[in-house]
Amino acid sequence: MIKNALLKAMLLTITVSWIPSSIAAPITTTALGHNSSTEYISAPYMPYANPKAPSGGTLSLDARGTFNSANKWMTTGVAMIGTDYLYDTLMTGSLNEAFTMYPQLASKVTYDPDDTSWIIYHLNPDARFWDGSGVTSRDVKATFEAILNKGPMYIRSYLSDIKDIQIINDQQVKFVFASAENKEILLTVGQFPIFAKSSIDIDFEKISLSPLMGSGPYKLGRVDAGRSVSYIRDPNYWGRDLMVNRGRYNFDMIKFVYYQSDEIAFEGFKSGQYRFRPENKASNWVTGYNFPAVKAGLIQKETITSQNPVPMQALVMNLRRPIFQDIKVRQALTAAYDFEWMNKTLFHGQYERLQSFFHGSELAATGTPSDAEVQVLTPLLSELEPIQRQATLAEWQLPTSDGNGFNRQGLLEARKLLLEAGFYYEDMKLYQPDGSLAQIEILMTGETMGRVLLPYIRNLKRLGFDATLRQVDGPQYYERMRRFDYDMVVDVFAQSLSPGAEQAAFWGSAAADEPGNHNSAGIKNAAVDKVVAALGNAKNRDEIVLYTQVLDRLLRAGHYVVPLYGKSGTNVAYWDQYRHTEKLPTNAVGIDYWWVDKEAEGRINKYLKQ
C-alpha cells in the first residue's frame, strides 16, 4: 500500500488497532469495519453489482408453512417471509467482507477509537418513508426502544449493551453503550430496520397483515393470506442511487409462494408457479431435474460457492430434560446416527458430515489445539467434566459407520455408553437410572426431515428407547420452540465470518432460561460463557479466529447436538430468465443484485402458456 492509501485507511476504518493511541480522536467516516477491511469505501458500486442492469420482471421464490403477521419484530404471530425488503437499515453490509458496513439511512458515523462506548449515526437528510416524510433520529430512537422492550428475547439479548439512545438533532442520533468493551455493537446497531415512530406508537404489537411504515425499496403488494405475498418496487424509493444500491433491487416485483411440503413446492417450480429455487434436497438435484422444461433448455442449475461457514444443521438435545444431563447419554445418541448410510442411500453422496460448528471456514477448529488455543483453554479445563475436557484437547472426529445400514459398531458403542450412564434393560425395554422409561420425542414441522429422522428413530428403538416423531403445524411448532417444549428437535445454526456477541444467544447460560432465545440446547457451561464473552470483546481478526476455534472445541466436546449434514456450496435452480454478474459475492448468493432478461422471460411465459 502507498502512504496515501494507508493514511486513508487509518482515517476511515473502525479497526482501532490501525490508529495509534497518540493520534486517536473522534473521527467521522462513511464505512465501518469490525476487524475487517473497508475495501469499497470509495467504490462507485459494489463489485458484484451491475449498475447497468435492466429493471423489471418478477423474482418468484417459495416458502414453507403459513403466516398471519407482517411484523417479525414482535414476540407473537408468525411473520410473512420477505419483510426485510420493506425497510432500510442505518447501514448495510458488504457481501465480500467479514463484517463491514456502508451507508444507507445513515450517510456517516462519528466515534472515538479510544472510547467505543458511544457512536453517533448521521442520518441522510434525503431519507424518506413511503409517505414522503423524512426519517429522523426520533424514528431511530422509537424503533430501538420498541425492539428492546417488546421485541424477541434473542434480539433484546443481542442489543443488551445499549444503555441509552440520545437525540442530538433531527439527523443525529447517539447510541451510548454499557461499556467500551464490545466494539462490535457499534456496527450491530446499524443492521436493524428503522420504522416510522408514528407507526410504532399505534401498530407495533398488533398482529396484522399491514406492515409498519418503512423507507425500503419495496412496498407490500398483494397478500393472499397463508398462500403468497408480493412486494412491489417503489418507483420513488429515495435510496436507489446510494453506492450500495446501484445495480440492486432490479425486480419490479418479488413474490413468495407458500407450500406445505417440499414435494409440492418442487412440483410448483416445475410448472412455473415460482421460478427461482434453492435446491436443498440432494435426490432432486441428482435425479429430479429431468422434466420437460429442463429438456427444452429453459432451466439453469448452478452451484454457488461461499466462504461463509456451512450452517450447522443438527439434532439438538434439550438439556433442560433430565434424560440428556449425562454426557455419556449424549455421546450414545450421537453414535446412533448413521451418516454414511444416509448419505449413500438418501443423499446420493452429495453431503458432508459437519465436523465443526464453523465447517468449511478458517474459523473451524482442526487437529489438536494450537499453542494459542491451549493458552486460552488451560484456565477453563477445571470447569469441564472429564469427558468434555479430554475431547476438547483431542483431535475431533465424529463416529463413522461402514454404510451398510445396520450401524452395528455405533449401536454397540451407544449401548455401552448408556449402561455406563446407569441405564438398564428390563423386559426388552430401556430404563433411566431413576427407573423411568427411556422416552424421547423428536419434534418437527413439515415433511422434509421425516425421511432423515425415521431411520434415526429406528436406531434409537434398537437401543431400547421409546422413541417417537411428533409432527405439528407451523404455529404450534414455533410456540413450542419458543417455550423450549421438546426433547429433541432439528435446528440450524447459521454463522458469519465474524462471529461475536450474538453467540451468547446460541450458547450462553442466560439465554437458556429466556423463552424465545436461540439457546435451543439449553447449554449452561461457565467455560463456554467465558469464551463467548472473550469473542465478543475480540480486539482484532486473529482474536476472532482464535476464540471461535476454542468455542468450536468446547461445543463439540460437550456433545450438545447430533450433527447431521451440510454442503459447502448452495445449489440453485432457476428458469432461464434470471441473470447475474460473472463474479458473484464471496459470502452469499446475492439475489438482490440479479436481474431479469426480458426477452428470455417472454420466451418462458410463452412456453408456460402452451
Of 16-30, 69-83, 201-215, 548-562, least confident by mean pLDDT is 16-30
Instruction: Reply yes or no on whether the pLDDT at 446 is more than 90.
Output: no
3-42+73-203 classified as CATH 3.40.190.10: yes
For residue 24, what pLDDT is reported? 58
The per-residue pLDDT for range 466-498, each reduced to its tens digit, is: 999 999 988 899 899 999 999 999 999 999 999
Domain ranges in the chain?
Answer: 3-42+73-203, 218-304+568-609, 312-563
Q: Mean pLDDT across the stretch 515-520? A: 92
**What does the alpha-carbon distance between residue 206 and residue 595 come to, in Å, rounded to a whole number?**
35
Q: Mean pLDDT across the stretch 139-144? A: 98
Q: Give the model's confidence band at 36: pLDDT under 50 very low, under 70 low, under 90 confident, else very high.
A: confident
Query: What superfamily would CATH give domain 312-563?
Result: Dipeptide-binding Protein; Domain 3 (3.10.105.10)
How many residues appear in the chain? 610
Average confidence score pLDDT of the chain: 93
Separation of first and last alpha carbons in the chain: 59
CATH architecture, domain 218-304+568-609: 3-Layer(aba) Sandwich (3.40)
Q: Give the model's confidence band at 10: pLDDT under 50 very low, under 70 low, under 90 confident, else very high.
A: very low
Instruction: Reply yes or no on whether the pLDDT at 15 is more than 60.
Output: no
What is the chain's Cα-based Rg? 25
Cell numbers at 219, concatenated: 412496498
For residue 258, what pLDDT is reported? 97
**Mutual angle of helices 450-462 and 408-420, in 10-degree steps:** 60
Instruction: Reply yes or no on whether the pLDDT at 13 is more than 80.
Output: no
The per-residue pLDDT for range 143-187, each reduced to its tens digit, is: 999 999 999 988 998 899 999 999 999 999 999 999 888 888 999
Strands (E), 447-547: 466-472, 488-493
Of residues 533, 509, 543, the one with CA closest to residue 523: 509
For residue 35, what pLDDT is reported? 81
**What does the alpha-carbon distance between residue 17 and residue 10 come to, in Å, rounded to a whole number?**
9
Q: Mean pLDDT across the stretch 263-291? A: 95
Q: Mean pLDDT across the stretch 270-287? A: 94
For residue 18, what pLDDT is reported? 34
3-state secondary structure (DSSP) of residue 467: strand
Instruction: Reply yes or no on whether the pLDDT at 560 is more than 60.
Output: yes
For residue 16, what pLDDT is reported? 36
Instruction: Reply yes or no on whether the pLDDT at 91 is more than 80.
Output: yes
Q: Mean pLDDT across the stretch 61-65? A: 94
Instruction: Reply yes or no on whether the pLDDT at 8 is more than 80.
Output: no
Which one-letter DSSP state was computed for residue 504?
A: H
Instruction: Reply yes or no on whether the pLDDT at 196 is more than 80.
Output: yes
User: Do residues 213 and 135 touch, judged by C-beta distance below 8 A?
Assistant: no
Instruction: Reply yes or no on whether the pLDDT at 5 is more than 60.
Output: no
User: Do residues 268 and 274 touch, judged by C-beta distance below 8 A?
Assistant: yes
The one-letter code for the residue type at 550 is V
Instruction: Reply yes or no on whether the pLDDT at 4 is more than 80.
Output: no
Which residue bears the cell 494459542?
372
3-42+73-203 shares its CATH topology with 312-563: no
Q: Mean pLDDT across the stretch 442-459? A: 92
Instruction: Reply yes or no on whether the pLDDT at 12 is more than 50.
Output: no
The per-residue pLDDT for range 282-338, each reduced to its tens digit, is: 889 999 999 999 999 999 999 999 889 999 999 999 999 999 999 999 999 999 999
Instruction: Reply yes or no on whether the pLDDT at 93 is more than 80.
Output: yes
Cell numbers at 202, concatenated: 399505534
For residue 401, what pLDDT is reported? 93
The pLDDT > 90 percentage for the chain reads 83
**What does the alpha-carbon distance between residue 304 and residue 589 come to, in Å, rounded to a whole number?**
7
**What does the alpha-carbon distance between residue 487 and residue 97 come to, in Å, rounded to a whole number?**
38
10 Å CB burial of residue 290 (0-12, 13-18, 19+) is exposed
For residue 344, what pLDDT is reported? 93
For residue 233, what pLDDT is reported? 98
3-state secondary structure (DSSP) of residue 314: strand
Q: Mean pLDDT across the stretch 127-133? A: 97
Q: How far is CA 199 from CA 121, 206, 479, 505, in A?
A: 22, 11, 26, 29
Cell numbers at 19, concatenated: 490508529
The per-residue pLDDT for range 346-383, each reduced to its tens digit, is: 888 999 999 999 999 999 999 999 999 999 999 999 99
Cα angle for residues 137, 194, 478 (degrees, 5° grid): 145
